[in-house]
């Protein structure tokens, strides 16, 4: 009996060892998890703090929100002067899905003078307006980029000869004139004036030629007329946007009437 009791005691003691080790192991894992949890809490606390980076400033609002009717960008007298005997004095507007952002009008005319020959003139006015967009920049900056592209395009017309670009002052915020000649059914004298007024780009193309022995167009006069028409178009853009502003009443505000005292 004594030997059996002693043996039983040793068996129970051995059996208890794994249990103790297991408990100890659990305590160790628990400590690791606790450390991990505290690390996660620390990271969460750090991420919850407000960012010290400044917020992106709001984009500058585009100055112009609409365009004038392209065929009314220059007056009837101007068309009569620079496109004499125009086939359609009212011009021909190009189709556009958004006339407030992109518009074009063209005129052409053949002034026949009998034995003195004929003079042909062609005029095109194109307007493009840009809004301010967070993804690409302000309307003015986008218009600057388009202005530069149009100037390069005017200087690289296929078949152009004697290309002469010049800065044209006094027209909007930026302006460049490009004169050149081309040969197609006669000698054509061409003038392009590219101008930017705030977030609107204007491209005016004006050319002329002579037929049946008529005197060739004066390139300097063509340029002068093109610059005058471009200035008129810049003014039309400003006027169209002023007209769009809500009208403010000029009547002085009337003071509120005081209620009359009740009869006693």
State the pLDDT confidence band at 18, using cuts at 50, 70 and 90. Answer: very low
**Residue 196 included in any domain:** no
Q: Which position has the higher pLDDT, 223 or 28?
A: 223
Q: Identify the bridge partners of residue 182 per DSSP, sorted by sequence position.
A: 188
Q: Which position has the higher pLDDT, 125 or 29?
A: 125
Residues near 242 by beta carbon (within 8 Å), at least 6 away in sequence = none
**Residue 227 included in any domain:** yes
**Residue 195 included in any domain:** no
Q: Report how many domains make up the chain.
A: 1
Q: Judging by beta carbons within 10 Å of its beta carbon (0-12, 13-18, 19+), is residue 179 exposed, middle or buried?
A: buried
**Residue 48 included in any domain:** no
**Residue 37 included in any domain:** no
Domain that residue 100 falls in: 70-177+206-242
Q: Which position has the higher pLDDT, 245 or 150?
A: 150
**Residue 145 included in any domain:** yes
Q: What does pLDDT average to over the chain?
A: 81
CA angle 182, 107, 229 (to 5 degrees): 85
Per-residue pLDDT of 28-74, as tens digits, reads 444 444 444 545 444 444 444 544 443 345 789 999 999 999 999 99
CA dihedral 196, 197, 200, 205 (to 10 degrees): -50
Question: Could you give the CA distance from residue 70 to residue 9 in angstroms, rounded to a whole number?
Answer: 109
pTM here?
A: 0.72
Question: Could you give the CA distance from residue 78 to residue 144 in angstroms, rounded to a whole number?
Answer: 28
Give how far Cα 58 sits from Cα of 50, 51, 131, 158, 257, Å.
20, 18, 14, 42, 44
Q: What is the pLDDT of residue 184?
A: 81
**Residue 194 included in any domain:** no
Q: Name the region of 160 (left: φ>0; alpha: ψ -120 to 50; beta: rest).
A: beta
**Residue 141 included in any domain:** yes
22-26, 181-185, 186-190, 258-262: least confidently modelled range: 22-26
CA angle 157, 181, 176 (to 5 degrees): 65
Per-residue pLDDT of 79-100, as tens digits, reads 999 999 999 999 999 999 999 9
Question: Could you give the CA distance from residue 143 to residue 67 in angstroms, rounded to a whole number?
Answer: 14
């Amino acid at each position: 009996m004594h030997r059996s009791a002693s043996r039983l005691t040793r068996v129970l003691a051995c059996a208890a060892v794994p249990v103790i080790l297991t408990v100890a192991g659990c305590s160790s894992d628990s400590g690791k998890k606790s450390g991990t949890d505290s690390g996660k809490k620390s990271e969460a606390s750090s991420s919850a703090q407000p960012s010290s980076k400044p917020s992106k400033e709001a984009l500058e609002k585009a100055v112009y929100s609409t365009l004038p009717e392209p065929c009314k960008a220059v007056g009837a007298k101007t068309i009569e002067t620079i496109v004499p005997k125009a086939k359609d004095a009212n011009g021909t507007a190009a189709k556009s899905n958004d006339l407030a952002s992109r518009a074009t009008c063209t005129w052409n005319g053949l002034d026949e003078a009998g034995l003195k020959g004929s003079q042909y003139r062609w005029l095109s006015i194109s307007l493009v307006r840009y809004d301010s967009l967070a993804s690409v920049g302000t309307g003015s900056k986008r218009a600057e980029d388009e202005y530069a592209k149009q100037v390069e395009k005017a200087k690289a017309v296929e078949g152009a000869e004697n290309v002469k670009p010049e800065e044209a002052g006094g027209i909007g915020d930026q302006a460049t004139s490009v004169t050149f000649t081309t040969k197609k059914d006669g000698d054509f004298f061409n003038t392009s004036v590219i101008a930017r007024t705030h977030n609107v780009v204007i491209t005016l193309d004006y050319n002329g030629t002579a037929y049946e022995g008529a005197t060739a167009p004066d390139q300097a006069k063509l340029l002068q007329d093109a610059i005058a028409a471009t200035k008129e178009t810049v003014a039309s853009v400003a006027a169209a946007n002023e007209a769009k502003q809500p009208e403010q009443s000029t009547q002085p505000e009337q003071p509120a009437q005081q209620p009359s005292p009740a009869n006693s």
